[in-house]
Structure formats: structure tokens, C-alpha cells
Amino acid sequence: MSKIRPIDQAIAILERTHDGDDLSPTHLTLLQHAANGFLNEKGIEKVNEIYQQVMAGEYKKPYLQGVEFMTNDHEGFIYFKDREVEHFSGFYMYSPAAKDYLIELQDKYLFMERNGLEDKSIHDEDFLEMYNAENIGKLNTLMNGSAIIFSSIKSHGASTAEYLLPGKANEDDVWNSEYQKDLIQQFDYIRVFNTSIEHFKFGSGDERPATADELRLMNCSFDYLKKNNRLESLGKIEFERLDNLPNAEEDDEEIEM
């Protein structure tokens, strides 16, 4: 490991990256912690790794949430291969729902590249027709003549999370999902979450819960399929749930103190 102090490495990195503008937001935050002496051994090793890359002219922003070709900047803008394609708010950036959307954006822009459609917008009707035709074809291949069952969830606290779960999800399935846990964690000052679960079927034949790969493809084409009435609704559940409420015993203990 280099003998240069992390704070001196941080200064050198900033000088070589336009005051950090060329770094990923997470790496810039890491340098700020280095400057304040807040790093543990793992953090020191990471700063040294970034330092070696920057000094060698080999630094590249890591892909956002590990989704290939997708990066972000300090203002929340999202890029596909350095092309600005979207903007995320801070709390949403690293959520499971954001990762689903990043995969969808990646898939659409890769389709655009493969088919020479760079002059199109991913919101153009003709682009969506071509993209979804290919995507749904992949989905049908995976389904292999069966019908898949999945659930669309919308849960609202201070913000709304929308996501898909396999099978006929119930209230407990929702509350145990990574999506809902993330929403509650982000807004832990909210006590009431209003949630709806709508069950859907796509395809014909023997019914079964959607697999992870099928759900990924469905995420990319859900809005299109719903808009064109190609999904069969199997019913909707709406409920209100309290979370993070102190129990009565805790309240009593606080009063006694």
C-alpha cells in the first residue's frame, strides 16, 4: 500500500479530476471522509485504489448499482455511455426500484444501438412498438407456453414506490420485500403507508409465479402491456399499514423516566 497519507491522496485525486467533477458521487464522498480522517482500513484501501487509477490515467466511474453502462453525476443526472438519459432524486438513486429502472433504460438504449435508432427517443411510439415486440418475444420464449402470475405494488408514504413481485403477493410479502424495506428506511419518520397490490396474469396455459428473469422483462414492458390491455387483472387489494410505531410499554417507560 502507498505510504502517502489518505488526505494527500485525496488532494492529488481532486487536482487530477477537475475538483472531483470526473469522479462518481460515492467516490467524491469517500474523499471527503478521507480529508476528515473518518476512514477505516477498508476505506483507506479504496482511496489508495482510486489514487492509483487516477494517477495512471485509468480511472473510470463505476456503473451505478452495477448496471453496465449506467453512471451518474453529482447533480443526479443519469447517463448511458456518457449520454444523459434521466435524472434521479437523491433518496431514489440507490433504491431497488431505481435499479429495476436502470436495467430498463440500459435495455432500451442497447436495443436502440443494435438497431441503428440513435435518432429516436425511447418515448417515441414507433420505438416503443419495436422495442416491446422484441422484449415480449423474449418473455414468451421464457414462459414456454405457460401463464405467469405477478403482482404490481404501489406503496405511498412521503414518496411512492412502485414495483413488481412474483405470484399473488399478500401484505406480508410486500412488507418483507427489499423494495418496501428500502421505502420505510428512507422515510422512517412516516408512520402510515397506503399500499395497493394488483395481481396480474400474462399469457395462457398452466399458471405459475413469474421467475426472476421473467419479472425483469415484465418490468421493462409492464406499462406497455397494461396500456394495450394485454394483462389480465386478477383482483386488487388496498390497505393502510402503520409502521415504526412505539408500543404501549415503551410509551409508559418513557413517561415514567
By the 8 A CB rule, do 168 and 149 touch?
yes
Domain limits of the chain? 6-55, 125-242
Joined grid coordinates for residue 240: 393502510
Q: In Å, what is the CA distance from 152 to each residue of 5, 11, 80?
A: 50, 47, 27
Looking at residue 156, its pLDDT comes to 84
Does the pLDDT at position 222 exceed 70? yes
The answer to whether the CB of 80 falls within 8 A of the CB of 69 is yes
Instruction: Give the confidence band of 3 by pLDDT, cuts at 50, 70, 90.
Output: confident
**Nearest-CA neighbor of 107 among 162, 67, 148, 165?**
67
Q: Is the pLDDT of residue 88 over 70?
A: yes
The answer, yes or no, to whether residue 15 has pLDDT greater than 50, is yes
Rounded Cα distance, 165 and 152, in Å: 7
d(CA 12, CA 46): 15
Q: Which amino acid is at 183?
A: L
Mind listing the pLDDT tens digit for each residue in 188-209?
666 678 899 999 999 999 999 9
Express each pLDDT in 28-85 by its tens digit: 989 989 888 888 999 999 999 999 999 999 999 999 999 999 999 999 999 999 999 9
Confidence bin at 256 (pLDDT 50/70/90): very low
**What's residue 143's pLDDT?**
98
CB 199 within 8 A of CB 168: yes
Cell, residue 228: 394495450
Statement: residue 114 has pLDDT above 50: yes
Q: What confidence category does residue 27 fall into, taking pLDDT thresholds of 50, 70 and 90?
A: very high
Q: Give the per-residue pLDDT at 251.
A: 40
Question: According to the model, what pLDDT value does residue 17 have?
Answer: 93
Residues 179 and 96 sit within 8 Å (Cβ to Cβ): yes
pLDDT reading at 253 higher than 50:
no
Name the band, by pLDDT with cuts 50, 70 and 90, for residue 187. confident
Could you tell me which of 138, 133, 173, 126 has the C-alpha nearest to residue 153? 173
Mean pLDDT, residues 158-187: 89
**Residue 22 is placed in which grid cell?**
470526473
Return mean pLDDT, the chain.
Answer: 89
The mean per-residue pLDDT over the stretch 122-127 comes to 95
